[in-house]
Structure 1
Amino acid sequence: MASAERLPGWTYVEPDTLEDIAATLGAQTPARSLPEATLRDKINAAWLGRIAGCNVGKPVEWGSHWTAEHIREYLILADAYPLRDYVPMLDPMPEGFTLTACWPETTRGNVKGSARDDDIDYPILALHLLETHGTALRPEHVGAAWTRLFPIEQVFTAERAAYVNMIEGFTGSDVARRRNPYREWIGAQIRGDVFGYVHAGSPWEAAKLSFQDASLSHVGNGIYGEMWAAALVAAAFTASSATEAVEQSIAVVPPQSRLAEALRHTLELKASGITWDAALAEIEAAYGHYSWVHTINNAAAVAVALLWSDDDFLTGVGRVVMSGWDTDSNGATVGSVLGVIAGTRNLPDNLIAPLENRTRSALFGFDNSVISDLADRTTFLALNGLT
């Protein structure tokens, strides 16, 4: 299967190397800068927004059970629809509804510092990698950090397959491709934000650097997902709105790929004037055949939530979590983007205060990280450049 040719009629062009990806793209959005105080504040808000958004989605991160319809039914029973807070825990739980095992530390009233999650581990690791390697970062550096700092049982799907391949001595493209049916799933997309933070206002620079991380474990749309997320976050720092950030970010995705097609679809839906509910239904119909942890459907859900967010943090995070699929990953990405747009002062206290400025992590040496410290270190790189 790994060496089989595409079926006749395949029209997509989905290269894997950075050079071939770049060759498919048109002109990129020019880099833009912003004042130091503004940059510092927005990076802090981005970290807080990402971590809060992740925790909002964690109790319902089970896409085969927590569909958009099922989430809506539960939130209506809990008098919490539309979602604008952490997910409530009903006691007793209604029959047919089961929150994930993390609910004692991620539901409304129970958040006391951020729970551990891979959507938080990877940004922390990305920061460490950039502090260590800067622009010289390559996939082998990422792999070495995984095997040194990440317990294998805390990495999943494509990342675990790549991890096993490295332990068994495989290198190069074999790490991402050998026995890895998850290599176009969402795992890389959740790892892109910090590359956007350090290249605030420079979507293409963020995307190029994130490629070095993504290509360790992913190919095709899996790689594009991380490049898109990095560009999306970078664009948010200088864009006038979340819609403009989405529009700019698509420029880093190969235009004849399935991901680009899906993202363009979301913009067409927005231009048509339909409601968020109708747009979500369209996205479910078009991309619901993918695994609930695939890149394409989840990226579309993120884009739709941002396009219909009206730049409001609670609206955007609530809507992307209510969309189902990979709720914590998508909540983190939307929280990151809208955190940048909002700034620290405008973040909602009901989501931010319970984080207590700290997060758990499975990375060796990084547990109980202080969120403001992560932001300060990120800001230093953004201001002083990567060596």
Structure 2
Amino acid sequence: MTIENICYIPASKFLLQEKMDELVRYLCLSAEYGCPTEGKNLFNEFQKNLNEILDQYQHLVLSQKDSDEPDDLPTIQKLRPSGVRKMTSNFPSDYRRRLEGAFYGRMAGCTLGAALEFEPVDKAKAWALRFGDNFPLTDYWSQVKDPEATHYIVGKKIDLTKGHMDAVPPDDDTIYTLLSLLLLEEYGFNFTQENMADIWKKYLPLERGEKAPGNRGCWWGERQMLQNLLDGMKLPEAGTFRNPNLQNIAAWTRADTYGYVCAGWPEKAAELAYRDASANHRRNGVYGSMFMAATIAAAFLVNDPIEAVKIGLTEIPKDCLFAQGIRWALEQQPKDYQQAYDLVWKRYNGMFNGSALTNALHVVMGLQIGNCDFTKTIGETVAMSGDNDCTGATAGSIIGAVIGINHIPSHWVDPFQDRMHIYLNDQPEYLEIQNVCDRIELLAKKLINL
């Protein structure tokens, strides 16, 4: 796949959104007219036809093949460029310092981005101006819009501000890090996708038919997969049925723990990430997860985040769209968030801004601009918009693993009070971060001795 082969349909997309809005308005209008039986029947027929069309699109998407973008691990590995695969056979002597840097870095980047997730750059900048905050931000937000709005089941938006924070606020992107940890603890390094499904059903609080935004413990394809599982569907169908998010960002937001436990072993980190991601992603959605896991694993043994990125690239097919995009980003050398944003969306205009690729470009460019400065790295990355709690989290994870906890300014760490607020079933309301790091370190030591 090359960028020239990408089919962009932005005009059709906006027209469809407009027509769907018209339909909703007619439904509301029909309520005022007394909801005639003919109207209900018409809507039921529309819904049936729409589902049939969606199923046809799903079949069309899944039937497309590209020799540069396989979905099976053996072929993916055959198409990799040469790489180091395993950087050391010894447990890194400074592992704990780097692990805490990576973990706190992930928590900080996620918390910074979550306040204005997906807000356009100009709107985020306007909110910062209104609140008197720097932009890009150099500390947590002093205020947020809709402060009393629910934030991931057990929190509120105001929890994301520096004056009201007493722990890492709840967020799906921090929960994914814990889910991967629980998966490895309960099933080991040879976990199956069925094991992963069991972990999701056991710990994620989503019931059949539960759609209210305040109750969402996971998003997009993850919620769809969990809903399918709860409805009795089995893998692999449960991961792809009615899931248009096959090449989106979510899989690589689940990858960090695999990088943490495979410090210095990027090939193994990518293998674990593949097994996880391919449950409900395909092609570049999977490669993104493999790339991020491998990059994080490499970050534990290098002193330059871009070196880690280049190592991460050696674990995915060299000619896939994702790899082409990362190599392009490394050539650009943007000076700031605005130039990075403009470059990405000039090249990928019309692509969904929740895609694995475009958001990964934000991470890589944020690492370039940050130049080993933690505050600048997460601030510039989050300022690029997109799924910026995810991008801020992953950029923070990578740079944190490179520089270690002692080089992360205390104002990013101290407000958490060494604990994180979570919403998983059968788990406490808060977890101590040091205890979580102890558990990750134990797994990493087990792996190195296998």
* Same fold? TM cut 0.5: yes
Aligned pair 1:40/2:96, yes or no?
Answer: yes
Match of 1:322 in 2: 383
Deviation at 1:12, TM superposition (A): 7.2
TM-score (norm 2): 0.78
Structure number with greater Rg is 2
What is aligned with 1:119? 173
Report if the CA contact (8 A) 1:232-1:246 is conserved.
yes
- Are the aligned partners of 1:12 and 1:258 in contact in 2 as well (CA < 8 Å)? no
Deviation track 1:31-50 (CA, whole Å, cap 9, x = no partner) reads 22366540012112211111
Deviations 1:328-378 (A, max 9, x none): 111110111111112111111111000011111121233311111111111
Q: Structure 1 residues 72 and 12, CA, compared in 2 at 3 Å: closer, same or farther?
A: farther
* Aligned positions of 1:303-314 closer than 5 A: 303-314=364-375
1 CA distance for matches of 2:107 and 2:62? 39
Question: Structure 1 residue 72: deviation in Å?
Answer: 2.3
Contact 1:71 1:322 in 2 (8 A): yes
Match of 2:431 in 1: 369
Residues 1:300 and 2:385 aligned together: no
Equivalents in 2 of 1:100, 1:277: separation in Å?
A: 29
Gaps of 5+ in 2: 1-56, 151-155, 207-215
Q: Choose between structure 1 and 2 for higher RCO, CA contacts under 8 A separated by at least 6 residues.
A: 1
Q: 2:221 aligns with which of 146, 158, 167?
A: 158
- Per-residue CA deviations over 1:266-288 (Å, capped at 9, x if unaligned) read 01112xx7555323310122234
1:263 to 326, 342, 347: 326
- In 1: Cα distance, 2:85 partner to 2:70 partner: 24
Question: What pairs with 1:131-210 in structure 2 (closer than 5 Å)?
Answer: 131-152=185-206, 153-210=216-273
> Relative to structure 1, is the Cα distance of residues 23 and 109 closer, same or farther in structure 2, using a 3 angstrom cutoff?
same
Mapping of 1:1-387 within 5 angstroms?
1-4=57-60, 13-33=68-88, 36-61=92-117, 63=118, 66-77=119-130, 78-89=132-143, 101=150, 102-152=156-206, 153-270=216-333, 276-366=337-427, 367-385=429-447
Runs of 4+ in structure 1 deviating by more than 4 angstroms, as ranges, are 5-8, 34-37, 97-101, 273-276
User: Could you tell me how far apart the structure 1 residues matched to 2:295 and 2:186 are?
Assistant: 24
Distance of 1:318 and 1:368 partners within structure 2: 27
C-alpha contact (below 8 Å) 2:273/2:289 kept by paired residues = yes
In 2, Cα distance between equivalents of 1:48 and 1:72: 25
Deviations 1:138-157 (A, max 9, x none): 11111111011111231221
Structure 1 residue runs without a partner (length 5+): none
Deviating more after overlay: 153-162 vs 169-178: 169-178
**What is the letter of the counterpart of residue 374 of structure 1?**
V
2:30 corresponding residue in structure 1: none
Name the aligned partner's letter for residue 179 of structure 2: L
Distance in 2 (CA, whole Å) between partners of 1:5 and 1:110 is 45
Question: Take 1:384 and 1:5, find their aligned partners in 2: how far apart are those partners?
Answer: 40
Deviations 1:146-177 (A, max 9, x none): 01111123122111111122223333331222
In 2, are the aligned partners of 1:44 and 1:376 still within 8 Å (CA)?
Answer: no
* 1:288 to 1:111, Cα distance in 2 relative to 1, 3 A: farther
The separation in 1 between residues aligned to 2:230 and 2:62, in whole angstroms, is 30
Instruction: Indicate how the Cα distance of structure 1 residues 252 and 100 shifts in structure 2: closer, same or farther if over 3 A, else same.
Output: farther
Query: Structure 1 residues 6 and 205, CA, compared in 2 at 3 Å: closer, same or farther?
Result: closer
Q: For 1:303, what is the secondary structure of its paired residue?
A: helix
Does the CA contact (< 8 Å) of 2:249 and 2:356 recur in 1? yes
Cα shift at 1:29 = 1.9
Cα distance change of structure 1 residues 100 and 69 upon mapping to structure 2, 3 Å threshold: farther
Q: How has the CA–CA distance of structure 1 residues 148 and 264 changed in structure 2, closer, same or farther, with 3 Å as cutoff?
A: same
Equivalent-residue separation in structure 1 for 2:274 and 2:92 (angstroms): 27
| Aligned partner letter, 1:4 | L
Q: How many residues align?
A: 376
Are residues 30 and 186 of structure 1, via their aligned partners in 2, closer, same or farther at CA, if it must alter by over 3 Å?
Answer: closer
AA paired with 2:415? P
Residue identity in the other structure for 1:194: T
Q: TM-score, normalised by structure 1?
A: 0.90
- CA change 1:289–1:99 in 2 (3 A) is farther
Percent of matched pairs sharing the same residue: 28
The answer to whether the 8 Å contact 1:104/1:110 transfers is yes
